[in-house]
Every structure is written in C-alpha cells, then in structure tokens.
Amino acid sequence: MRNYGRLWAVLGVSAVALILAFGFGQLKAAQIVITVMGSGLALMMLWDMIQTLRSGKFGIDLLAITAVVATLAVGEYWAAMIVLLMLTGGDALEDFAAHKAKRELKSLLDQAPTKAHRQETSGLNDVQVDDVAVGDILVVKPGEQVPVDGVVIEGESMVNEASLTGESKPIEKGVSAELMSGTINGDVALTMKVTKTAADSQYQGIVRLVKESEAKPARFVRMADRYAVPFTLVAYLIAGVAWWLSGDPVRFAQVLVVASPCPLILAAPIALVSGMSRTSRHGIIVKSGTTLEKLASAKTFAFDKTGTITSGVLHVTQVKPVSPWREDQLLQLAASAEQQSTHIWPAHWSRHSLKQTCWRPVMSVRLLGWVSVPKSRNTRLRSEKPNLPARLTL
C-alpha cells in the first residue's frame, strides 16, 4: 500500500505543478513544489535501495533514483517528475499484482474445513477440526465439506472431489471408500472413521503450502535487474565522460535519464498484471510473477485433463433406447423423473431432452426407490446396480 501512496503523491504534485506552471504562469513555484516532493521521494527510495543492497540484492532502480536527483540538481524538474512517475507507477503495479494473487489464494484458505460432527456417547457434537483425533467417528451431512481424511463405514453418496483433483464428475463413495478432506458430500449423509488428523489431511496440506508461499513470496525479478550492476556502472561512466567533455552538468543528467530503464520498469509489472488477470478469469491462480517468468524455460507441461484442458461439462452424445421405446420417450421419462435431482447426470439429461422433446415436471426424486406419477402404463428404469431398483409408473 505504501507504493500506492507514493504514486498518488506523484500524481497529485504533478497536477499542482501543471496548474501552477500553465494555469497561473508560476514556473518557479512549480519547480519548488516538484523539487521538494521529488527530493523527499528520492530520499525514501534511496533508503529502500540501501536496505536492498544490505540484503545482498541490487536493482536497476538505483540508476533511476540517481537520474531524479541529477535532474532536480540541474533544474530539469519536469524530467525528474516523469522518471518519478515511471518508478512509482511500476512499483504500484507490482503491488497490485501481488495483492491480486493473494486475493485469489485467500479464497482457498477461506474454504478450509473448520468444524466436524463427532459421534459420541452423548450424541452428535460439533467440534473444531483440529480437535479431531485418529479413530474418531464423524458424520458428514449432505452438502457438507469432508473435514479430515477418513474411511466410510456407513452410507453411500456421490462426493465432489473437484477442489482437489479437478474431476468434475462426482465419485460414488460407499463403505470402505476413502474420503479426502475438502471434498463435498452429495445428498446422503456419510459416517466415516478418521484416518488422519487435520494437520496431515489432504486439504490442510494444500492450505499449509499456500501459507508458506505467502510467508516467503518469490520477489518479482525484472530482466533489467539481472544486469543491473554492469549496466549502472557503464551508465555512470558514460554520463561522467559526457559531463567532462562538455563541461555541462546537464549532460550528466541527460545521460542518466536516457539510461533509466523506465520502459522496462513499467512494462514488466503491466505484463504481470495482465497475465494474472487473464489466467484468473479462466480459474488459474498464479502465485507470483516468478511463476510466470519460469514458464519461459518450461519444456514439458503435464495436465489433469478433466476440468483443466476441458470445460468439465458433460454432454449426451448418443441415446440407445430398447424396444419398444423410442428415443424421445426414453429421454422424456428420464428427464421428467430427475429434473430436480442434485446428481450430475440428470442435469445433462434434462438439457438434452429440452432440445429433443418435452418433459413433464414432477417432484424431486432419487432413483433408488419407487416413484409414482398418475398415468396408464408402467415403465421400469433400470439402475446399473441390480440391488437398487427404480420404477416409474406412468
């Protein structure tokens, strides 16, 4: 936020100086305003640069700061203002990019499970997820997040694991099936036995890595910074020679202004912000600018296909009715029965049937029992599991 303040200060002083110089013709007053503010900002940036140097790093900003001081010293205050605008604008853009990345990562932290329903002798009690121990019996209600890793001991439901695996299709979980923390239970309650504490579970492991990355963020390294030392020394040498040959200190300031890599200082964070914004719109979270930089040297990419390089949306491509039923009749029956179901498949049946034929609205049902709608003939909708029959009476 400090860099935002500096940028606004530069913009504010620039506006005041422009009004004084071109609105009231007070060129001397405009020079004083810019010189005082520019000197203060240059001192603050110089102090930051000293701290950077003490940490063993060296940036190209030192050349730009020297250019600001030199231009102010020789009275070229408008040039100093432009360089300051470039410097503070680039720093503010980098802060914006870092803040945007943290905001996207924070959504992951906010989704971390915090409570669990533990089955005790006195009944079902809500406890903090950190208090859950290995061997505890937990109940995961419909639509809730699985708090810790465990194994199903009772119940059968469809569990959405997209937050961990990227797989958009819910996975059927029954007795002895493993559950991962952070996944979302379907429309049936599950009873599970805890196999890992919260600290060792899948989702908490991801959260821990995110927190570590925030605590130790990779600083964005501009291309110019990699060659900062030799470039700065050469620029100082050329500027000194120009001053010595011409006898005019303005030449020294001019060389430093020309050598200041303002386009690089601005171009790098702008590209960073644009890249992060574009990827976030497609559901991709980029931790830092260093991550984007490293992509330039990547030779191989490995993707989890579903939901990553595909849209994760299912489509009905073919319907094969069994005699005596027609395709439109089969779609009508399936879509009518499951129009309000929470399962992933019925939504696509209904969408496909709307394109092909009409369907009759009925109450929300789950095709694991008997459903009755007043009409004349009987139809049996077969389940893939023979012990889970479903019949629709029409």
Q: Are 242 and 252 in contact (CB under 8 A)?
A: yes
Q: Which residues are catalytic?
A: 304
CA angle 133, 134, 139 (to 5 degrees): 80
Answer positive or negative: Cα dihedral of 319, 325, 326, 332: negative
